[in-house]
Amino acid sequence: MKKNSLLFIFLITVCALKLFAQTPVSLNLNTAEAKETISKHIYGHFSEHLGRCIYDGFWIDSTMNVPKHDRIRMDIVEALKKINIPNLRWPGGCFADEYHWRDGIGLRGQRPKMVNTNWGGVTEDNSFGTHEFMELCGLLNCEPYIAGNVGSGTVEEMAKWVEYFNFDGVSPMANLRKQNGHEKPWKVSLWGVGNESWGCGGNMTPEYYSDLFKRYATYARDYPGAPLKKIASGASDWNTSWTEVMMKNVPAGLMWGLSLHYYTLPTGKWGKKGSATVFDEKEYFNTMKNCLGMDEVVKRHAAVMDKYDPQKKVALVVDEWGVWTDVEPGTNPGFLYQQNTMRDALIAGSTLNIFNNHCDRVRVANLAQTVNVLQALILTDKEKMLLTPTYHVFDLYKVHMDAKLIPIRFTSPDYVLGDQNIPAVNASASIDSKGAVHLSLVNLDPSKKITVATALTGIKWSGVQGQIVTSPKFNDYNSFANPDKIRPVKFTGAVKKGDQLNAELPPLSVVMLELK
């Protein structure tokens, strides 16, 4: 071979190496800018009477051979306690607006049965009601978030439910609660006034609902020691006109929070949404693009709220979010049972980063849903139980709860597919009450590792440790045959170089770093 040919090959090789060599992503953090608190309630969850979330999830047959408290499944309780679940929303969802609370109290054998017309048309025996839910929250050591019935209920019905929960004295509802075995009030503060009132909650206009909200909220009383945080039914997705009407029409002080629902659809369509486990890179890319849309959705609604509430007194409550796919083959289409993959873990990490970075306005959020439904934390099959990749992300991110947000300045490299691109990396950071800094990083690129170099201002630290959730394929998942395929492991790709933190993020990874 001639020298010229060898030189040509050498130059081509050098150029290729330069082309594919990676410039580290520069992140800048300054603890002096840590002002806003990341509310622990951003890490809330959702338990609707839907499919096998309550019945055959939290609430099981008394003959099932697993640890139980009454009929509450304790392995689920222990798993949720480990991630410090801060709140649990119940009884819906769409179910909330057909649920009449008095059917779920008193002797279980005497409670009337009901048809769940929203989810599968199944008959429920109401054995899981107010007292059972509050017992569950007590075991979880979490706050209950009650969604009241506006769609098919009455003002009186909700007012008396509030009294049943919260009044410590002599009254018809307090006396009834005592007769049913609970002497002292529970003092529940988080209250949703209806759900999806633009859709399954009554197909209302925002003008009509805003007037209805004022009426219901007026009669939902604050009892001593139990001030209510009343959360109005808010918009779906990009519908900022609903938010505009609510902020304009509802007086300050009556509405503590305004809800927002946004689901990530793999195909972007409600018909054929896409499989939970069988998808190619094009569908993966589209799913992650739709997931990252949450950032713009929150910004648009927050901008409308800022116009009427510049002091940010009204919370944005994203009380339904997550990926929504087609159900698993062979399962009841009304039960919304879907598997949970590495893609779901990346959705969870990315979405929680978005909420953290908007914690000045987003103060409550609820993943849909906790057990056996949609983007679940836990799946069960009779006595078997597994923790999903999404669960493990919540386990990593619990360190952000009630910590101070450290704003991050950086520009992400692109993840490119064809003629489209999205940011490959997203992140959030916080400093806790003990001075420990936590940095959560997500790499969405399925083939490229990405190096980040973090400049830290105002942080005294001597070392770094971390954990990672990752898997070779975006559609890998935990099965009952292999429940630990995806789980957190020690992350060794971060090092201290002078005052700078360098970390190499593998493809398809969620990383949590702690600096001390």
DSSP per position, 412-445: PPEEEETTEEEESEEEEEEE-TTS-EEEEEEE--
Contacts (Cβ under 8 Å, ≥6 apart) of 23: none
Distance, CA of 52 to CA of 472 (rounded, Å): 30
Q: Phi and psi (nearest 5°) for 289?
A: -60, -45
124 classed as catalytic:
no
E-strand ranges in 152-200 read 190-193
CB neighbour burial string for 365-393, b if at least 16 within 10 angstroms, e if fewer: bbbbbbbbbbbbbbbbeeeebbbbbbbbb
Q: Is the dihedral of CA 87, 402, 365, 511 positive or negative?
A: negative
Active site (annotated) includes residue 296: no
Catalytic residue among 320, 328, 504, 514: 320
Q: Pick from 247, 129, 144, 260: which is nearest to 191 by CA?
A: 144
**Cis amide leading into 91 (omega within 30):** yes
CB crowding 446-476: b at 16 or more within 10 Å, else e: bebebebbbebeebeeeebebbbbbbeebbb
**8 A C-beta contact, residue 13 and residue 296:** no
* Secondary structure, 3-state, 33-83: HCCCECCHHHHEEECCCCCCCCECCCECCCCCCCCEECCEEHHHHHHHHHC
Angle value at C-alpha 402, between 396 and 407, nearest 5 degrees: 80
Among the options 143, 196, 207, 504, which is catalytic? 196
Residue 410's contacts (CB-CB under 8 Å, 6 or more residues apart) are: 25, 26, 27, 28, 425, 427, 452
3-state helix, strand, coil in the chain (%, to 5): 30, 25, 40
Helices 172-179, 155-166: axis angle to 10 degrees equals 60
CA distance from start to end of the chain: 57
Q: Which residues are catalytic?
A: 196, 320
